[in-house]
Structure 1
Amino acid sequence: MTGPTTSRGEAERLRRGFGRLAALGAVLVLAGLVGLVHTGLAGATSMLLFGWLLLIGGLVGLLHAVQSRDSAFFWLGVVVAALNLAAGIVVVREPHATAAALTMFAALLFLTAGLFRVVGAVVVRGPQFGWTLLVGAFDLMLGVLVLASWPGGPRAIGCFFSLALLFDGLGLFATGFGGRRVVGLVADRTA
């Protein structure tokens, strides 16, 4: 049997969840602002992070392939792991040489994310329609700007990723804050 205590508990759980989402948004906004102040550092950091993620992914993939060496996909796992390791080594050893490739990757990332956000906002028309549309339009604009300045250096990459963090954080903060408000309104009406 569910009663008022159960629905209050669920409302509080939802409220905490939306509060965590708003907190994550605030952290992303802060990271974006710090990145905008230090664009060169943000760009170099994003390139090195990408390289190390490739290296770690390659090592984990290689370990997984070795553990499943009796499967039919052993050699595919080895090849994918080797490609990740090779790409990671290139990115970590030559971060400035990979700036152009990462700039193109950033442009494609922003264009794809923006397109999905704009289309999703128009199709769904949810409670955060305006924020989702704004973030999507901003992502599309960043993609076009990155393509216009391609090949760019670490400063451009740092600036664009920092702006993306800032606007993604604002979107998450608005969603979390709005969700907490909606839960509070619903909980007040059912009490």
Structure 2
Amino acid sequence: MARSTPPRGEAAKLKSGFGRLAALGVILVVAGLVGLFYTGFATLTTMVLFGWLLLIGGVVSLLHAVQARHSNFFWLAVIVAALNIAAGVVVLRTPEAAAEALTMFAALLFLTGGMFRLVGSMVVRGPQFGVTLLQGVLGLLLGVLVLITWPSSSQYVIGAFLSLTLLFDGLGLIATGYGGRRIVGMVSDRLTSPESTGPGVKTVQPE
């Protein structure tokens, strides 16, 4: 019997889906490159989006708390929602100050994370000793550099990190989309080729 082959329509849909994934990756790469050239604008944009997320999330949480007002955690949910709303309003009204605070927090995270990795690599000395040691040293250096230039570093640190994240995520999506289209095309061509029908198929020659 002939081997069943998937419809060409399904392969076309898969290739179209991977193509849209690659197109999204291109958009993210472009946005990341623009953000790297205009880090100050990217930082302010990030803080405004962050403030709106806090504000909308707080309003949604407050609505859910009101709907579940008979639960035991009603007041806790109201307090958390109110804090999110207040934080969102503060971030939207003073995005520069919020960027400074967030940059300081990020620098402290780099310092503590680098210190833990550095000490852990020296104590454990596992198979990933060199990589962990290098990560710790880089974390410490990055935290120190951000703190030394603070608060002026708050104008570009958050925007640079966001832009780099968009850039690498976009490159990953492009690689996934391109590779997926190639694999789908190779499999589709392989399954629809005459050799893939197997020896059980008889060809009728015209008389």
Deviates more, 1:40-49 or 1:70-79: 70-79
RMSD, aligned α-carbons: 2.8
- For the residues of structure 2 that align with 1:68 and 1:106, how far apart are their CA atoms? 36
Shift of 1:46: 0.4
Structure 2 portions without partners, runs of 5+: 114-135, 193-207
Letter in 2 for 1:149: V
- The number of equivalent residue pairs is 160
Q: Percent identity?
A: 63
2:53 is the counterpart of 1:53: yes
Larger radius of gyration: 2
Deviation per residue, 1:111-140 (Å, 9 max, x gap):
8xxxxxxxxxxxxxxxxxxxxxxxxxxxx9
Deviation per residue, 1:10-61 (Å, 9 max, x gap):
2222212211111110110111122122211111110111011100111111
2:47 is the counterpart of 1:38: no
Structure 1 portions without partners, runs of 5+: 112-139
Identify the residue that residue 8 of structure 1 maps to in structure 2. Answer: 8
TM-score (norm 1): 0.72
Identify the residue that residue 29 of structure 2 maps to in structure 1. Answer: 29
Letter in 1 for 2:73: F
- For the residues of structure 2 that align with 1:103 and 1:26, how far apart are their CA atoms? 28
- For the residues of structure 1 that align with 2:101 and 2:7, how far apart are their CA atoms? 51
Deviation per residue, 1:139-188 (Å, 9 max, x gap):
x9997775331443122221221122112111111111111111111111
- For the residues of structure 1 that align with 2:139 and 2:8, how far apart are their CA atoms? 44
- For the residues of structure 2 that align with 1:187 and 1:142, how far apart are their CA atoms? 46
Q: Structure 1 stretches (4+) deviating beyond 3 angstroms?
A: 104-109, 140-146
- For the residues of structure 2 that align with 1:47 and 1:57, how far apart are their CA atoms? 15
Report the CA distance shift for 1:71/1:99 in structure 2 as closer, same or farther (over 3 A).
Answer: same
Matches within 5 A, 1:42-121: 42-103=42-103
CA contact (8 A) 1:106 1:146 kept: no
